[in-house]
Structure 1
Amino acid sequence: MRRVHPQDLRPGQAIATLRGVTLPDGSSSTLSIADGRIIAPPDAPLAPAVAAIAEREVEATGWLLLPPAADLHAHIDKAYTWSAAGEPEGSLEDAVACWRAFGSAVTEERIARNARRQLDAALRAGVTAVRTHVNYHEGVDPLRGIRAVLEAREDYRGLVDVQVVAMHDQFRDTGMIREAIALGIDLIGAAPHLSTDPHGEIDRAVTLAEEMGIGVDLHTDETLDPESLDLLHLARRTADWPEEITRSAGHCVSLAVQPPDRLAAVLDAAAEARVSIITNPLTNLYLQGWEHPVATPRALPPLAAILDAGVVLAAGGDNVQDPFNPLGNGDMVHVAAALVLAGHLAPRRAWDVVARGRELLGLGAAAGTVGDDADMILVRAASVAEALAERAPDRIVVRRGRVVATRLTASDAVPVSTRKEVAL
Structure 2
Amino acid sequence: MSATITLPTSGVYSLANLRLHRSHVSGVEGLVFDADGFALTRIDVAGGNIIAIGGYTAQPVDDAGIDCRGAIAFPAFVDCHTHIDKGHIWGRKPNPDGSFPGALTAVGEDRAARWTAEDVERRMEFSLSCAYAHGTKALRTHLDSLPPQEDISWPVFETVRERWKGRIELQAACLFGIDTARDEAWFNRLADIVARHRGVLGAVTYMVPDLDALLDRMFRKAIDLGLDLDFHADETDDVEAISLDRIADAALRHGFEGRILVGHCCSLARQPDDTIKATLDKVARAGLSVVSLPMCNMYLQDRRADATTPRWRGVTLLHEMAARGINVCVSSDNTRDPFYAYGDLDVLEVYREATRILHFDHPVGEWPATIANNPARAMGMADAGSLTPGGKADLVLFRGRSLTELLSRPESRRTLIRDGKLIDATVPDYQVLDDLMER
Q: TM-score range by the shorter chain?
A: 0.7 to 0.9
- Please give the alpha-carbon distance, in whole angstroms, between the structure 2 residues aligned to 1:117 and 1:71: 16
- Match of 1:326, SS state, is coil
- Please give the alpha-carbon distance, in whole angstroms, between the structure 1 residues aligned to 2:323 and 2:348: 23
2:283 paired with 1:238: no
127-136 vs 340-349, greater mean Cα deviation: 340-349
Q: Name the CA shift for 1:8/1:385 in 2 (closer, same or farther; >3 Å).
A: same
2:405: which partner in 1?
A: 386
Unaligned runs of at least 5 residues, structure 2 = 22-36, 57-62, 428-439
- Match of 2:112, SS state, is helix
2:279: which partner in 1?
A: 266
Number of equivalences? 395
2:174: which partner in 1?
A: 166
Cα deviation, residue 243, structure 1: 7.6
RMSD, aligned CA: 2.9
1:125: which partner in 2?
A: 134
- Please give the alpha-carbon distance, in whole angstroms, between the structure 2 residues aligned to 1:76 and 1:142: 15
Letter paired with 2:267: S
Give yes or no for contact 1:19–1:59 (8 Å, CA) kept in 2: yes
Q: Which deviations, in whole Å up to 9, do the C-alpha atoms of 1:52-89 show, x marking residues without a partner?
A: xxxx7533224211122211100000010012114533
1:324: which partner in 2?
A: 339
2:124: which partner in 1?
A: 115
Q: Name the CA shift for 1:241/1:393 in 2 (closer, same or farther; >3 Å).
A: farther
Match of 2:301 among 288, 291, 308: 288
Q: Name the CA shift for 1:235/1:194 in 2 (closer, same or farther; >3 Å).
A: closer
- Match of 2:425, SS state, is strand
1:374: which partner in 2?
A: 393
Cα deviation, residue 257, structure 1: 0.7
Match of 1:218 among 228, 231, 234: 231
Q: Name the CA shift for 1:244/1:65 in 2 (closer, same or farther; >3 Å).
A: farther
Alignment of 1:193-232 (within 5 A): 193=206, 197-232=210-245
With structure 2 as the length reference, what TM-score do the two structures score? 0.82
2:52 paired with 1:40: yes
75-84 vs 327-336, greater mean Cα deviation: 327-336
- Please give the alpha-carbon distance, in whole angstroms, between the structure 1 residues aligned to 2:76 and 2:399: 15
Give yes or no for contact 1:267–1:306 (8 Å, CA) kept in 2: yes
Cα deviation, residue 181, structure 1: 2.0
1:421: which partner in 2?
A: none
- Please give the alpha-carbon distance, in whole angstroms, between the structure 2 residues aligned to 1:13 and 1:78: 42
321-330 vs 198-207, greater mean Cα deviation: 198-207
Q: Name the CA shift for 1:151/1:343 in 2 (closer, same or farther; >3 Å).
A: same
Cα deviation, residue 328, structure 1: 2.2
- Match of 1:335, SS state, is helix
Give yes or no for contact 1:134–1:166 (8 Å, CA) kept in 2: yes
- Match of 1:406, SS state, is coil
2:266: which partner in 1?
A: 253
Alignment of 1:64-79 (within 5 A): 64-79=72-87
2:62 paired with 1:93: no
Cα deviation, residue 368, structure 1: 3.5
2:401 paired with 1:359: no
268-277 vs 244-253, greater mean Cα deviation: 244-253
Q: Name the CA shift for 1:142/1:38 in 2 (closer, same or farther; >3 Å).
A: closer
Q: Name the CA shift for 1:370/1:385 in 2 (closer, same or farther; >3 Å).
A: farther
- Please give the alpha-carbon distance, in whole angstroms, between the structure 2 residues aligned to 1:202 and 1:240: 11
> Share of identical aligned residues, percent?
25
- Please give the alpha-carbon distance, in whole angstroms, between the structure 1 residues aligned to 2:105 and 2:207: 12
- Match of 1:191, SS state, is strand
Give yes or no for contact 1:13–1:403 (8 Å, CA) kept in 2: no
Letter paired with 1:388: L
Cα deviation, residue 121, structure 1: 0.6
Give yes or no for contact 1:37–1:373 (8 Å, CA) kept in 2: yes
Give yes or no for contact 1:334–1:391 (8 Å, CA) kept in 2: yes
- Match of 1:143, SS state, is helix
Letter paired with 2:223: E
- Match of 1:323, SS state, is coil
Q: Name the CA shift for 1:98/1:41 in 2 (closer, same or farther; >3 Å).
A: closer
- Match of 1:298, SS state, is coil
Give yes or no for contact 2:7–2:421 (8 Å, CA) kept in 1: no
- Please give the alpha-carbon distance, in whole angstroms, between the structure 2 residues aligned to 1:149 and 1:93: 27
Give yes or no for contact 1:250–1:277 (8 Å, CA) kept in 2: yes
- Please give the alpha-carbon distance, in whole angstroms, between the structure 2 residues aligned to 1:212 and 1:43: 46
Letter paired with 1:154: E
Q: Name the CA shift for 1:338/1:100 in 2 (closer, same or farther; >3 Å).
A: same
- Match of 1:64, SS state, is strand
- Please give the alpha-carbon distance, in whole angstroms, between the structure 2 residues aligned to 1:12 and 1:287: 48
- Please give the alpha-carbon distance, in whole angstroms, between the structure 1 residues aligned to 2:108 and 2:211: 20
319-328 vs 149-158, greater mean Cα deviation: 149-158
Cα deviation, residue 214, structure 1: 0.6
- Please give the alpha-carbon distance, in whole angstroms, between the structure 2 residues aligned to 1:12 and 1:194: 58
Q: Which deviations, in whole Å up to 9, do the C-alpha atoms of 1:270-317 show, x marking residues without a partner?
A: 111100001101111111112483452111012211111111001210
- Please give the alpha-carbon distance, in whole angstroms, between the structure 1 residues aligned to 2:46 and 2:257: 29
